[in-house]
Amino acid sequence: MLNRRKFLIGTGAAALGALVLPKAASAFFANAGEHPIGLQLYTLFNVIDADVKDNLKKVADIGYKEVESAFSKLPGYYGMKPKEFAALCGELGLAWKSHHVLGAPFKMPKGMKMPAGPDGKPMTLPPHMRNLKDDMQQLVDEAAEGGIPYMVCANIPTGTLDEIKSSIEILNKTGEACKKAKIQLCYHNHDMEFKDVEGQIPYHLLLSGTQADLVKMELDLAWATKAGVDPVELFKKHPGRFPLLHVKDISKDFTTLEPVGDGVVDFKRIFENTKIAGVKHYFVEHDMPKDAFASIATSYKNLRAMGI
C-alpha cells in the first residue's frame, strides 16, 4: 500500500505545477515533508518592494513557512521597523527567523562585478546600507527588536589575510553582542571564501578563528559546490556548526543559478547528513532569477518531492 507521505508528495507535486498555486493546493501540500521550508527574500530583490505585503502573501501561498530577510531598495526592513515587519510576517503565517547584514564592510572581490538583474543591468547597492564594522550594535539591537533568533553576516572582504583577520575580530565581537541579545550569529559563504589567499583558505580561517559557540555557519550549497567543496565533509569536520542552509542550485557548468532540483547540487546526500551538521532551518535562495515566483514555486515543489 502506498504510504501517506508518498501519496502526499506525488499528488502535491502535481498540484504545484502551475506558476500561481491555488490556495487549497498550497495548504494541502505545505505539510507533506518533515521540515518547514524557508525563503531568503533576496530572491525577490527586484520585485518585493513594489508591494511587500502582497509579495509575502504569494510566498506563503506557495507553502513557505519561514523567511530570512536581507536588504532591499527601501530603508530599514522593506520600508518598515523590525517590529512592523515581524508583525506583517506573523499576520501572513510566516515566521521571521533570520536577517542578513553586510560584513566588515562589503567589498567586491577583485575581478568580480555586481550581479545583473533581469533587465541585464548591474545591481546597485542602496545608499542606506549598514555593516558590522560601523553599525554592529545598532544591527544587533534591531534584530533583537524583531525577535529573530539568527543574524547572518552575508560576506566579508577576503582579498588579503589582513582583511580576513580584521573580519574575524569583528565577527567574534558581533557574536558576543548577539549572545547577550539571545541571538545566534552565523556566517554565509560564497565561493570566494574557498579560494587560496596568501597560501590560506579563508573559510578554514573563519572556522578556526571564530568561537564555535559565538559564530556558526549558514552554508550556501551552490557556492560551496561551485568551489569544489563537499558539504558533507565540512559537516563531519565541524559537527553542529551549521544551523542554517542556503538551499540553492547551480548549472553543470557553474555559470547559472537554477531553481532547487534543476541543477547539479547533490541535495540527497547533503540532506541525509544534516543531523551531523546541526541544521535547523532550510532557506531557498536564487539570486536574481528572471521570474522569482516561478523559481521559488519550482524549488518548493522539488524540495517536497525530496521529502524535505
User: Grid coordinates representing 143?
Assistant: 534584530
Pairing of strands 37-40, 281-284: parallel
User: Under the phi-then-psi rule, with left for phi > 0, alpha for psi from -120 to 50, and beta for the rest, what region is 199?
Assistant: left
Which amino acid is residue 60, in one-letter code?
A
Quote the radius of gyration of the chain (alpha carbons, Å).
Answer: 19
Round to whole Å and give the CA distance between 197 and 161: 7
Q: Is the pLDDT of residue 111 over 80?
A: no
94: in domain: yes
2: in domain: no
pTM of the model: 0.85
- Least confident residue range of 71-80, 92-101, 257-266: 71-80
Q: Is the pLDDT of residue 263 over 70?
A: yes
13: in domain: no
What pLDDT does residue 115 have?
62
Average pLDDT estimate for 33-39: 88
16: in domain: no
Average pLDDT estimate for 140-151: 98
Sign of the dihedral defined by the CA atoms of residues 275, 176, 66, 217, in that order:
negative
Which amino acid is residue 253, in one-letter code?
D
- pLDDT tens per residue across span 49-58: 999 999 999 9
Q: Is the pLDDT of residue 7 over 50?
A: no
Helix (H, G, I), strand (E, B) or coil at 188: strand
CA dihedral 150, 33, 285, 203 (to 10 degrees): 60
Look at the chain and report how many structural domains it folds into: 1
24: in domain: no
- pLDDT tier at 33, thresholds 50, 70, 90: low
- pLDDT tens per residue across span 170-213: 999 999 999 999 999 999 999 999 999 999 999 999 999 999 99
Which letter, b or e, does each residue of 228-241 get, where b requires 16 or more Cβ atoms within 10 Å of its Cβ? ebebbebbeebeeb
Q: Percentage of the chain surpassing pLDDT 90?
A: 79
User: Grid coordinates representing 148?
Assistant: 529573530
35: in domain: no
Kind plus residue range of the DSSP H or E element containing 298: helix 292-305
Residue 182: C-alpha distances to residues 26, 147, 240, 254, 302 (Å): 33, 9, 18, 38, 34
What pLDDT does residue 16 have?
41
Q: Is the pLDDT of residue 8 over 60?
A: no
CA proximity to 206, closest of 244, 177, 239, 165: 165
User: Under the phi-then-psi rule, with left for phi > 0, alpha for psi from -120 to 50, and beta for the rest, what region is 63?
Assistant: left
Q: Percentage of the chain surpassing pLDDT 70?
A: 81
151: in domain: yes
Q: Is the pLDDT of residue 117 over 80?
A: no
CATH of the domain at 67: 3.20.20.150
Segments forming the whole domain that contains residue 185: 42-110+117-305
201: in domain: yes
What pLDDT does residue 27 have?
38
Q: Which residue has the cell 551531523?
A: 276
